[in-house]
Structure 1
Amino acid sequence: MSSPLLRAPQPSDADAWFDFLVAQQAKAYAGIVPEDFATGQDRKYRDAWVPELAAAFASPGTARRVVAELNGGIVGIASILDGPQDWEIAAGLVPSPAGRELERLYLDPSQHGTGLARAMFNVVDEGEDLYLWLIDGNERAHRFYKRLGFADVDEQHAAGNDWGGVGMHRMARLS
């Protein structure tokens, strides 16, 4: 069995990154978010996000991203960005507990338990203080992030309408 290739995303990966992200979010949050979550995300955000992703991949600035590729397809994505994000500021969720956010870490379920998530995290992580948002009820991810040294922050927020208003909270890894 071959191992996934870990590499920086290229502008040409933007479509596949978006498709992978939406599909994995729908799988990870099945039974938590609305059943039409994936089609709603695709319909609502694809036209704006894909060009933005391509531009971000071409000029990453301080963002750190990795793609895990196996047999020509994406099986994992991860990204760390400067925080807080615009939506957090608009919602009054500032200051953030750290200056950097683990924004994405998604794996195809076929890769669960292989060590790929930790390997991807290790590629993007430079040991700085980090925070993330976790959808309540995603216990597999919660256990994983705790193993990485993240702790729950006593802060709740309802996700947007696209997400069905489900609860979420921040976790942080602080030195």
Structure 2
Amino acid sequence: MKYVKWLFVVLLITSLTSFVGKDKPTGGLNIGDVAPDFSIGTTLKNQKLELKDLKGQYVLINFWASYDAQSRMQNVILNNAIMTSFNKVKFVSVSFDEYQSIFKETIRKDQIASPICFVETKGESSKLFKDYSLNRGFNSYLLDENGVIIAKNISLSQLSSLLN
């Protein structure tokens, strides 16, 4: 009987400590974080992009891969929206396909504007993949003029309300 009290005390302490620090989302980048800078240079036209060069503009970065149907579909939707309705936003599309031939065929089939579409051929082992904590799934990030994340995994209606 005297051990029952101690058992309850231990259970109470462990349950209270399990809630400490749970108010913040874990892993990945969050709204309010400054987006990590990166440089990427593989496109169909061998253009190079440095994120820091886009400061002063709204930037929508979308990470995807041809083998991930949901991220690929989101890439097409966001590309079409930016090209037709949101011309004050710079769209940067980054694929994590390890083979450039797959990347080229995917953007051709999806009819993505190639100058804004980049491929990271190191795939999931790349520094960019790790910097943006994409191991929890491909994400899109809307950055303000200072490179601060103002939206994550944004929908078209959210994009419209934020930019209008």
- The TM-score with structure 1 as length reference comes to 0.28
Q: Which one has more relative contact order, counting CA pairs under 8 Å at least 6 apart?
A: 2
Q: Which has the higher strand share?
A: 1
Larger radius of gyration: 2
